[in-house]
Amino acid sequence: MRNSYRHLMKNLPLEKCPPDLSLKVIQKLGIADSFSQPNRAAKPNYLAMGFYSLTGLAAVLLIAAVLTYDYAGANSQHQRLASNAASLSAQISSNMKTVFISKGAFLR
Amino acid sequence: MRFNDRSVAIKILEGDIDAFEMFIDSFKSRVFSYCLRMTNDYSIAEELTQDTFIKAYRGISAYDWHKASLSTWIYTICRNTCLNHLRDAARKPGHYDLESCEKQPSSQDDYLSLEQRICLYAALDRLTVEEREIILMKDYLDIAYHEIGQIIGIPTGTVKSRIHSIHIKLRNFLASEEYHAK
């Protein structure tokens, strides 16, 4: 019978865990009931909602800027307005990604 | 690996019970095996395994993914849980619960005979608690040297030198066991 340490340790398998261990842990923690509510899966991600709202706003501003600029013609005041709207849209977009992704909005 | 650890930790922190169950399933076998080899008692090992995951859940907000992997973190909790139990129970080295060993459900891939397993368990039980924990982490759970160093709180070089001397000790124990078996 080979009883060298290397042989024995190499062939020693991991033990089979009691099958209901996860359930017992969850029951002891008392978290099973608090997660049986039907609307748990529908919990809103407010950060993501905020992100998409601002994305929509930036898109609307950009479209408005393009349309205003297109129809402004020689009116410099309208051109300035369109330019400002486009700048604001770009600024919102450039800041949003850093802020919202760092807050973990897209980890799910 | 670190991104997955972070993601899992955040999900557990947010109360994602499925993520927590998956976390338990990933580690329960190794944690239980370690607890069993440290205590030689099936029911105590089961209890200590449960305690490990309960502590992990309650302490998940303290887990820092920049400092250690999730596996290092859970093994640290497991090790401390076992040490606390052994300290409280004041178990003396050399005690071996043969009856508990024989009653254990056999593992799926049982390459060793019961005789060989008893031989190995007896040799492991002759080690001190500190020696047994380090050798189980390396040779049984195949944890990397630097990770063992993080778990126990000693330099990697010290881990290696301790394992080397423990190997010599175990070989001598097994040689004497074989001699006595004959």
Provide the residue-wise pLDDT of chain B in tens; the chain has 182 residues: 445 888 999 999 998 999 999 999 999 999 999 999 999 999 999 999 999 999 999 999 999 989 999 999 999 999 999 999 999 886 555 445 555 555 454 454 556 788 888 889 999 999 999 999 999 999 999 999 999 999 999 999 999 999 999 999 999 988 886 545 44
* Burial classification of residue B67, based on how many CB atoms lie within 10 Å of its CB (0-12 exposed, 13-18 middle, 19 or more buried): exposed
Phi-psi region at A73: left, alpha or beta (left = phi > 0; alpha = psi -120 to 50): left
**CA distance, residue A85 to nearest chain B CA (Å):** 38
Rounded distance, CA B61 to CA B59, Å? 5
Residue partners of A80: CB distance under 8 A and separation at least 6: none
Please state the pTM of the whole predicted model. 0.68
Question: Chain B window 135-154: which residues touch A at a Cβ cutoff of 8 Å?
Answer: 139-140
Angle at which helix B156-181 crosses helix B114-125, to 10 degrees, equals: 130
Q: Name which of B174, B182, B97, B170 is nearest B127 in CA terms.
A: B170
Residues of A with CB under 8 A from a CB of B: 1, 3-5, 8-9, 11-18, 21-22, 24-26, 28-29, 31-32, 34-35, 104, 107
Report whether B149 contacts B156 (CB < 8 A): yes
Write the pLDDT tens digit of every residue in A11-60: 888 998 898 999 999 999 988 654 444 344 445 566 777 877 888 888 88
